[in-house]
């Protein structure tokens, strides 16, 4: 999969008008699906439309060579501020799984949603491939470890009010983090605090 299904879904059947745009779109989709299934060297070795003008007929011949299937290799990170075990908890694959760009992007998105980093870029290092295993290197930019917010306002129901908000995004290499919030007004005092310990 997905080749038998896609081969059967060729958009131009005998008797259809030759639509070059549909033909090229199909080829591009076939190649993209192949690469996302781990066949990183996939290509059309033959891609020919032979015209028989006197009969108003076009014969199409496509030969597709998938090449070998590739797999996820080791994953490395360039951050020293957070323990690798914290970052590996966000992995959507493991070494030895068939390589899929969709899963690599899902991992990048998941780690990017963590509070530790302002930028996450997961790169498949094709040039460093050994055999069929593709190493993954993750480039990271740390977010500021602390964020403070102070706000003031006035409400007809509450009178003057003050907000204090503190976020400690990275207390140690194990990824512990803390978030505290205080709301103070003439009629209300609310305090909340959260200490998060990632499961390693």
Mean pLDDT of the chain: 91
Q: How many CA atoms are closer than 13 Å to the CA of 99, on its beta-carbon side?
A: 24
Per the rule left: phi > 0, alpha: psi between -120 and 50, beta: everything else, 106 is alpha
pLDDT tens per residue across span 19-50? 999 999 999 988 898 988 899 999 999 999 99
* Res 129 pLDDT > 90: no
Checking if the pLDDT of 90 tops 90, the result is yes
Task: Give the chain's radius of gyration (CA, Å).
Answer: 27
Percent of the chain past pLDDT 90, that is, above it, reads 70
Q: pLDDT grade, residue 199 (50/70/90)?
A: confident
pLDDT at 154: 82
């Amino acid at each position: 999969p997905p080749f038998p299904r896609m081969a059967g879904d060729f958009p131009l059947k005998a008797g259809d008008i030759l639509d070059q745009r549909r033909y090229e779109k199909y080829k591009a989709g076939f190649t993209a699906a192949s690469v996302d299934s781990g066949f990183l060297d996939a290509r059309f070795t033959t891609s020919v439309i032979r015209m028989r003008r006197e009969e108003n007929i076009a014969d199409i011949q496509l030969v597709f060579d998938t090449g070998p299937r590739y797999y996820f290799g080791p994953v490395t990170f360039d951050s020293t501020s957070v323990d690798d075990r914290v970052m590996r908890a966000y992995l959507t694959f493991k070494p030895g799984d068939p390589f899929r760009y969709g899963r690599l992007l899902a991992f990048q998105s998941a780690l990017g949603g963590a509070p530790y980093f302002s930028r996450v870029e997961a790169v498949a290092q094709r040039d460093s491939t050994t055999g069929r295993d593709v190493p993954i290197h993750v480039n990271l930019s740390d977010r500021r470890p602390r964020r403070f917010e102070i706000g003031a306002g006035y409400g007809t129901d509450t009178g003057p009010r003050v907000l204090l908000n503190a976020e400690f995004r990275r207390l140690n290499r194990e990824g512990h983090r803390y978030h505290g919030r205080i709301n103070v007004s003439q009629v209300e005092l609310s305090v909340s605090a959260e200490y998060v310990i990632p499961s390693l």
